């Protein structure tokens, strides 16, 4: 076991029985392409599993925490906790970038590629915890590191549908309906990353990024509300 993984176990407060699962969760496809490591797997399958575990854990947390909320409100609250921006923020706080195995080229990327890799690694880590320690431990991890952000989300009203709010404000203030356009698209088919612009007429008000067009549009709308000072 490397010192790095021992440190990470301490940071996340999870002791792995099979340290290979933790290593796999932190191995990006590019590392294997470059190193050609024989029996080592990259983290995409764990990411797939972790996505489902994360959604279930967050859903149960919200169901228990907010008995008065409607299905629509709960769906919006969940989206605010499981989107790539939130996963990136949590991964950044845990300093996962210090432990992820990347190709030399990917390791140099400090922009949107890093955002994407860290968000996916968070899901893979959750999947690894689930396989190694079971649902209870993975649920505890999700509640501690992800659901704990709910207070800030409620305070800043980040759970509200930013696109709907931006449209209402734009029509009220300027008499214009916002439109969204993809201004940049990158990555292979299974790892698409989108940058979307929020426009009022010909004015580019803000850009948002995400792992889907919908997520990028919501991020753009949220930034547009801030840029126009309509989020007060």
On the question of a common fold for 3-155 and 162-227, the answer reads: no
pLDDT for position 160: 73
Q: Of 33, 37, 34, whose CA–CA distance to 23 is shortest?
A: 37
Model pLDDT, residue 11: 94
Residue from 18, 183, 8, 170 nearest 99 by CA: 8
Looking at residue 26, its pLDDT comes to 95
User: Strand 193-200's sheet: what is its strand order?
Assistant: 179-186, 193-200, 203-210
Asked if 123 is an active-site residue, the reply is yes
Spatial separation of the C-alpha atoms in residues 228 and 232, rounded to whole Å: 10
Q: Which residues of the chain have pLDDT under 50?
A: 1-2
pLDDT of residue 192: 82
Q: Which of 24, 47, 106, 123 is catalytic?
A: 123
Burial class from Cβ neighbours inside 10 Å (0-12, 13-18, 19+) for residue 125 reads: buried
Q: Where are the domains of the chain?
A: 3-155, 162-227
- CATH level 3 topology of 162-227: Double Stranded RNA Binding Domain (3.30.160)
pLDDT for 72 equals 87
**Exactly one of 51, 106, 209, 222 is catalytic; which is it?**
51
pLDDT for position 232: 67
| Superfamily classification of domain 3-155 | Ribonuclease III domain (1.10.1520.10)
């Amino acid at each position: 076991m490397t010192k790095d993984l021992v440190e990470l176990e301490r940071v996340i407060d999870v002791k792995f029985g099979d340290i290979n699962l933790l290593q796999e969760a932190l191995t990006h496809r590019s590392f294997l392409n470059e190193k050609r490591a024989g029996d080592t797997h990259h983290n995409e399958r764990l990411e797939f599993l972790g996505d489902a575990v994360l959604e279930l854990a967050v859903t149960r947390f919200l169901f228990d925490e907010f008995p008065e909320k409607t299905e629509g409100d709960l769906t919006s609250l969940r989206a605010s906790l499981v989107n790539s921006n939130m996963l990136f923020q949590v991964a950044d706080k845990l300093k996962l970038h210090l432990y992820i195995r990347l190709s030399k080229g990917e390791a140099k990327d400090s922009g949107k590629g890093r955002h994407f890799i860290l968000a996916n690694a968070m899901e893979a880590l959750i999947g690894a915890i689930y396989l190694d320690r079971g649902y209870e431990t993975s649920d505890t991890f999700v509640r501690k590191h992800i659901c704990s952000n709910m207070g800030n989300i409620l305070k800043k009203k980040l759970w509200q549908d930013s696109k709907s709010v931006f449209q209402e404000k734009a029509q009220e203030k300027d008499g214009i309906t916002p439109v969204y356009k993809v201004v940049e698209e990158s990555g292979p088919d299974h790892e698409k990353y989108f940058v979307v612009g929020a426009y009022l007429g010909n004015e580019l008000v803000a850009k948002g990024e995400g792992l889907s067009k919908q997520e990028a549009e919501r991020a753009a709308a949220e930034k547009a509300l801030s840029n126009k000072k309509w989020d007060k």
